[in-house]
Amino acid sequence: MKSVRDYIRTIVDFPHEGILFRDVTTLFADPRGFRICIDQLLEPWAGMRIDRVAGLEARGFILGGAVAHQLSTGFVPIRKKGKLPGATISEAYQLEYGEAVVEVHDDAMLPGERILLVDDLLATGGTAEAGIRLIERLGARVAGCAFVVDLPDLGGRARLERMGMEVHALCAFDGK
Strand 167-172's sheet: what is its strand order?
88-95, 98-105, 74-80, 52-56, 114-122, 141-150, 167-172
Could you tell me the pTM of the whole model? Answer: 0.96
Confidence category of residue 171, pLDDT binned at 50, 70, 90: very high
Q: What backbone phi and psi angles, to 5 degrees, belong to 129?
A: -60, -40
CB atoms under 10 Å from CB of 138, counted, come to 18
Specify the pairing of strand 88-95 against strand 98-105.
antiparallel
Confidence category of residue 98, pLDDT binned at 50, 70, 90: confident
**137 given a catalytic annotation:** no
**5 given a catalytic annotation:** no
Averaged pLDDT for residues 113-131 = 97
Q: Are 118 and 90 within 8 A, CB to CB?
A: no
* pLDDT value of residue 151: 96
- CATH topology for the 48-172 domain: Rossmann fold (3.40.50)
Catalytic residue chosen out of the listed positions 52, 59, 114, 157:
59
- Cα distances (angstroms) measured from residue 35 to each of 82, 83, 120: 32, 29, 14
